[in-house]
Chain A
Amino acid sequence: MITIKELKKSFDGFEVLKGVNLTIPENKVTFIMGQSGTGKSVLLKHIVGLLKPDSGEIWFENKDITKLSEKELQKIRRKIGFLFQEGALFDSMTVKENVMFPLKEHFKMSKAEMEKVAEELLSVVDLLPAKDKYPSELSGGMKKRAALARTLALKPQIVLFDEPTTGLDPILQVSILELIKNLKEKYNLTCVIVSHDLSLAFKFADYIAFLHGGIIIEIGTPEEIKTSTNEFIKRFIESALL
């Protein structure tokens, strides 16, 4: 479980996060929703220590992530995976080499063992035929699946997804989220997904948290969110259903 308390962050005097309080439940899919530019990705990057807050706390396994040194953060990061919006695959490596990279760095395995694990992970995300391709030869959806396989190589407990469906067609959007849901069941993952696609959130989320004006204005199950009385959420739902 991750608990965020009074998290604040400003960029050049502009306060993006104004005191975020949020508890992310274990083994569930939590969507963080909100308008573009409200700081959803910023919030996600704080959870893995890519950004340091101005104030506030993020608790994981009885440790406040915001107070950890870079060396201590490295231990946490092996447990929390992060899927970047564009995948962030190493463009000088093939898909298989990308997936083997974290194995090479953190496990004492022979090359054959690493290749076997990488190929298993690539078949899980249905990308084995593209194992020898370079990232520049992949489509947007394939890049995200390859990045997901790489993220899973470290066997994380939690995976954070930064807009995993942005830029994909509706069929691919659903297939990516179905894949995430299946992987969550298979590996017993806690998933946090940043998105602004409400219909997908209603379909795949266990919980939905709304970030608006720099704070979490509401968190609940999709059913609770549908019946929310909050004016902004009502407007957001109406706009999404137009």
Chain B
Amino acid sequence: MNPFFLLGRGFLKILSDCGGIFLFFLKSLIYSLSPPYRIRLLIKHMEFIGVKSWLVVILTSLFSGMVTAYQVNIALAKVGSQSILGGVVALTLTRELGPVLTAVVVIARAGSAISAELGSMRITEQIDALKIMAVNPIQYLMSPRLWAAIFVLPLLTAIADLVGIAGGYFIGTFLLHIDPGLLTARMIDMVELKDIMSGIIKSIFFGAYLVTVCGYKGFYASGGAEGVGKATTEAVVISTVGILVSDYILTTLFF
């Protein structure tokens, strides 16, 4: 087959997916503004996306903070600036690692489950059944999930920041024997409110983005069980790559 044809077809598919995902997000948002307001579902999804993810988030951020401190210390030792280790670790976590790792963990744990659940509902006609019962399926299935992710991701990110910094502090003081007072003082000197807020704002965007992509892929899944598997894989790949790309864009906008 003509390579230009394949390239064009692939490009059109990406454009169509981008447009579809954006419209899906707008619908989820707009439908959530009109009654019925599904508070019970919102709390249920907050529990699923947030409460059930905290342990994985803590483990991931703790070891990321520890390894960051360890590696950064090696680099800083070469220029004799080990005293700023605490500040560098805290900046890395609050600006980048905290929001990005949290989003990736939530994609792996909750995003994939959302995609698989909605995909399974699609192929077993449960989404059509909602329509038949005069219930807007996007309003019922997506709107509460969207708000749940928007509310929960910043909280998880804040936990990730704290635990990651604690991990760095632990390595700095106990393994690398840096003075705890100096470590803390440099953290306070170097980290500004803007750094923490930029990570939190990113996490709000990541929450809305990952739940929309995962929901979209599941909601429009087709082709039986194989189709659900494919939709889930695509959801995880697209949302993870998208998080990393958008993180770069947001970072250049913030700083």
Contacts and interface: CB of A to CB of B under 8 A. Distances in A.
A90 B141 CA distance: 12
Contacts of A102: 133-135
A90 B140 CA distance: 13
Interface in B92-147: 120, 124-126, 128-129, 131-136
Contact of B132 (A50, A85, A89, A91): A50
Interface string A90-133: 11000000000110011000000000000000000000000000
A146 to B, nearest CB: 12
B124 A77 contact: no
Contacts of A48: 131-132
Nearest to A83: B132
A75 B131 contact: no
B136 A74 contact: yes
A189 B82 CA distance: 81
Contacts of A81: 132
A192 interface: no
A88 B124 contact: yes
Contacts of B125: 84-86, 88
Nearest to B128: A50
Nearest to B120: A91
A29 interface: no
A90 B126 CA distance: 6
A77 B131 contact: yes
Interface residues of A, number: 22
Nearest to A105: B135
Interface residues of B, number: 13
A86 B128 CA distance: 12
Contacts of A89: 126, 129
A11 to B, nearest CB: 12
Contacts of A90: 126, 129
Nearest to B131: A50
Contact of B124 (A70, A82, A86, A106): A86
A50 B130 CA distance: 11
Contacts of B134: 74-75, 77-78, 102, 105-106, 154
A79 to B, nearest CB: 9
Contacts of B120: 91
Contacts of A50: 128, 131-132
A48 B134 CA distance: 10
Interface in A129-160: 150, 154
A154 B128 contact: no
Contact of B129 (A70, A74, A78, A84): A84
Q: Which of B36, B120, B131, B136 has most chain A Cβ within 10 Å? A: B131
Contacts of B132: 48, 50, 77, 81-82
A107 B125 CA distance: 24
Contacts of B136: 70, 74
A75 B120 CA distance: 27
Nearest to B125: A88
B210 to A, nearest CB: 22
Interface string A58-81: 000000000000100011011001
Nearest to A80: B132
Nearest to B126: A88
Which of A50, A78, A85, A88 has the largest count of B CB atoms less than 10 A from its CB? A88
A141 B131 CA distance: 23
A88 B128 CA distance: 8
Interface string B28-58: 0000000010000000000000000000000
Nearest to B138: A70
A101 B135 CA distance: 10
Contacts of A75: 134
Given A74-B134, A77-B132, A84-B125, 16 more contacts: A50-B131, A50-B132, A70-B136, A74-B136, A77-B134, A81-B132, A82-B129, A85-B125, A86-B125, A88-B125, A88-B129, A90-B129, A102-B135, A105-B135, A150-B133, A154-B134
Interface of A: 48, 50, 70, 74-75, 77-78, 81-82, 84-86, 88-91, 101-102, 105-106, 150, 154
12 contacts: A50-B132, A70-B136, A74-B134, A75-B134, A77-B133, A86-B125, A88-B126, A90-B129, A105-B133, A106-B133, A150-B133, A154-B133
Interface of B: 36, 120, 124-126, 128-129, 131-136
What are the 3 closest A-B residue pairs judged by CB atoms, nearest first? A88-B129, A88-B125, A74-B134
